[in-house]
Amino acid sequence: MRKPAPSDRPLHDLIADRWSPRAFSSRIPAGETLARLFEAARWAPSAFNEQPWRFIIATKDNAEEYGRLLACLVEANRAWAVLAPVLGILVTKKTFTKNGKPNPWAQHDGGMALENLMLQAVAEGMFAHGMGGFDPDKVRETYNVPEDFKPTTAFALGYPGDPAQLSVDYREMELAPRERKPLEELVFSGSWEMASPTVKP
């Protein structure tokens, strides 16, 4: 289901069409298709080209592995994410490999990698829904994540499905209009909360 952003200015279709559905088809993406998504993530920019992101994924064609990852999500997210044929966890490295110093940009850079993945998903006819509702300690224990890495974001991935699959509450969210704050509240010049002239109507 397309749900393009009601933007004030023209956007590229990949950006306008990217959103975070909860209804997914049971169709499992082909391995090569998934590989293209992670190739897109691989080419995200990062501080000093550190590439601090790692991904843990599970697909429904391996029920045991899928169940282990699903169990890392909070109950409210499991209720709908179980529809997605692919689940994943973004993990970011907390320190620089070259010198062991803290990397304050790691989560930012991991987020850019995940956004690259999400945009490539749109190009492939799919969507990804990021989630903060998961148990990082359970991820660490389940997958033996080293202490130097932080489970950062969970995500569900797949082809769009029928919102009728969802509970009433989630269905209402699925069908609700997309909204964003106006640019004047987001882009400043001169002083804090002083809207930049470049974004004024």
**What is the domain extent for residue 50?**
20-177
Helices (H), 23-180: 31-42, 63-70, 75-81, 106-123, 136-143, 168-175
Into how many domains does the chain fold?
A: 1
pLDDT of residue 201: 80
In the predicted model, is pLDDT for residue 12 greater than 90?
Answer: yes
Closest CA to 113 of 90, 95, 89: 90
Q: pLDDT tens digits for 99-120?
A: 999 999 999 999 999 999 999 9
- Return the CATH number at 102: 3.40.109.10
Q: Bridge-partner residues for 88, per DSSP?
A: 57, 155
Task: Report the mean per-residue pLDDT for the chain.
Answer: 97
pLDDT band at 200 (very low <50, low <70, confident <90, very high): confident
**Per-residue pLDDT, 17:** 97
Q: Is the confidence at residue 1, as pLDDT, over 80?
A: no
192 occurs within a structural domain: no
Within-domain flag for 81: yes
Is residue 168 included in any domain, yes or no?
yes
Q: Is residue 186 part of a domain?
A: no
Per-residue pLDDT tens digits for 15-33: 999 999 999 999 999 999 9
How many CA atoms does the CB half-sphere of 162 hold within 13 Å?
3
Q: Read off the pLDDT band of 7 (50, 70, 90).
A: very high
pLDDT of residue 155: 98
Indicate whether 122 belongs to any domain.
yes
Distance CA 134, CA 71 (A): 9
Res 172: pLDDT? 95
Residue 189 covered by a domain: no
> Does any domain span residue 83?
yes
> Is 126 within the bounds of a domain?
yes
Helix (H, G, I), strand (E, B) or coil at 18: coil
Q: List, for residues 72-103, the tens digit of each pLDDT value.
A: 999 999 999 999 999 999 999 999 999 999 99
